[in-house]
């Protein structure tokens, strides 16, 4: 499982996928951390699918408004230039291709870019929330996750075993070990992170990988 350290590394690398001026949706959990590392040089607007464009920092105790939360139900603030709207408008933004980047967590990703991240059969069903809409809407879908499961099993596989969130939707996968792009020709390993080798990644991946690592 990712250490605090590797979570920070993943979040920092994911931040580089965000360009100045982008509108970004960050999923619940590790993706939310990315917000902490957004360069002050960039103007980035964070969308929250419960109806806020322009998530600000967490509030001070005095600023807490119970009616102002993010999609993870945490109390937040609104940034300058923010807008509130209803859930239909929020998903119009998402589904309509207006979000530049969505960064989501993942349980499994297939070599075709299928994503499974919403349920484990036999375990309690919690629901997909906005994930199934997000994977079809944002211009770039980045999955950030541990490279292997808690049991040490590969999470990047030829095909997903878990029920899908979306088919052929992922553009990039970032783990603590490296960065993999999903291309029409299959998965391409583009970056290997400190402390790992190409072989480490091949061993921990259950799908064909083309190696195209720039030094």
Q: Which residues bind other proteins (CB under 8 A)?
A: 21, 23, 43, 45, 47-54, 57-61, 64-69, 72-76, 78, 80-99, 114, 124-133, 136-137, 163-168
Smallest separation (angstroms) from other proteins to the CB of 150: 19
Question: From residue 134, how far is each of 96, 137, 196, 204, 210 by CA, in Å?
Answer: 10, 5, 31, 28, 27
| Residue partners of 48: CB distance under 8 A and separation at least 6 | 25, 55, 69, 70, 71, 76, 90
Between 67 and 215, name the residue whose CB sits nearer to other proteins.
67
Smallest separation (angstroms) from other proteins to the CB of 184: 14
Smallest separation (angstroms) from other proteins to the CB of 89: 8
User: Rounded distance, CA 66 to CA 59, Å?
Assistant: 11
- Active-site pick, 15, 17, 49, 176: 49
Between 129 and 186, name the residue whose CB sits nearer to other proteins.
129
Between 128 and 198, name the residue whose CB sits nearer to other proteins.
128
Contact assessment for residue 24 and residue 101, using Cβ atoms and an 8 Å cutoff: yes
Between 65 and 203, name the residue whose CB sits nearer to other proteins.
65
Smallest separation (angstroms) from other proteins to the CB of 124: 5
Give Cα 101 to chain centroid, integer Å. Answer: 9
Where b means 16+ CB within 10 Å and e means fewer, 91-116 reads bebbeeeebbbbbbbbbbbbbbbbbb
User: Locate tokens 């195209």: which residue?
Assistant: 212
Question: From residue 164, how far is each of 7, 45, 98, 117, 132 by CA, in Å?
Answer: 24, 29, 23, 7, 9
Smallest separation (angstroms) from other proteins to the CB of 119: 9
49 counts as catalytic: yes
Between 27 and 178, name the residue whose CB sits nearer to other proteins.
27
User: Rounded distance, CA 10 to CA 33, Å?
Assistant: 9
Residues annotated catalytic, as ranges: 49
């Amino acid at each position: 499982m990712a250490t605090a350290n590797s979570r920070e590394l993943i979040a920092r690398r994911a931040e580089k996928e965000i360009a100045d001026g982008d509108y970004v949706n960050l999923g619940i959990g590790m993706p939310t951390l990315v917000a902490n590392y957004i360069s002050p040089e960039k103007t980035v607007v964070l969308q929250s699918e419960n109806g806020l464009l322009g998530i600000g920092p967490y509030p001070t105790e005095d600023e807490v408004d119970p009616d102002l939360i993010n999609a993870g139900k945490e109390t937040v603030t609104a940034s300058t230039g923010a807008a509130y709207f209803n859930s239909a408008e929020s998903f119009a933004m998402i589904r309509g291709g207006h979000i530049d980047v969505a960064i989501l967590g993942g349980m499994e990703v297939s070599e075709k870019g299928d994503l499974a991240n919403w349920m484990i059969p036999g375990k309690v069903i919690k629901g997909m929330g906005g994930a199934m809409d997000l994977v079809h809407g944002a211009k770039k879908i980045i999955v950030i996750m541990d490279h292997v499961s808690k049991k040490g099993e590969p999470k990047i596989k030829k095909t997903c075993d878990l029920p899908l969130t979306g088919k052929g939707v992922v553009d990039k996968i970032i783990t603590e070990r490296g960065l993999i792009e999903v291309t029409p020709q299959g998965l391409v390993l583009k970056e290997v992170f400190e402390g790992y080798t190409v072989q480490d990644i091949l061993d921990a991946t259950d799908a064909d990988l083309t190696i195209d690592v720039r030094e």
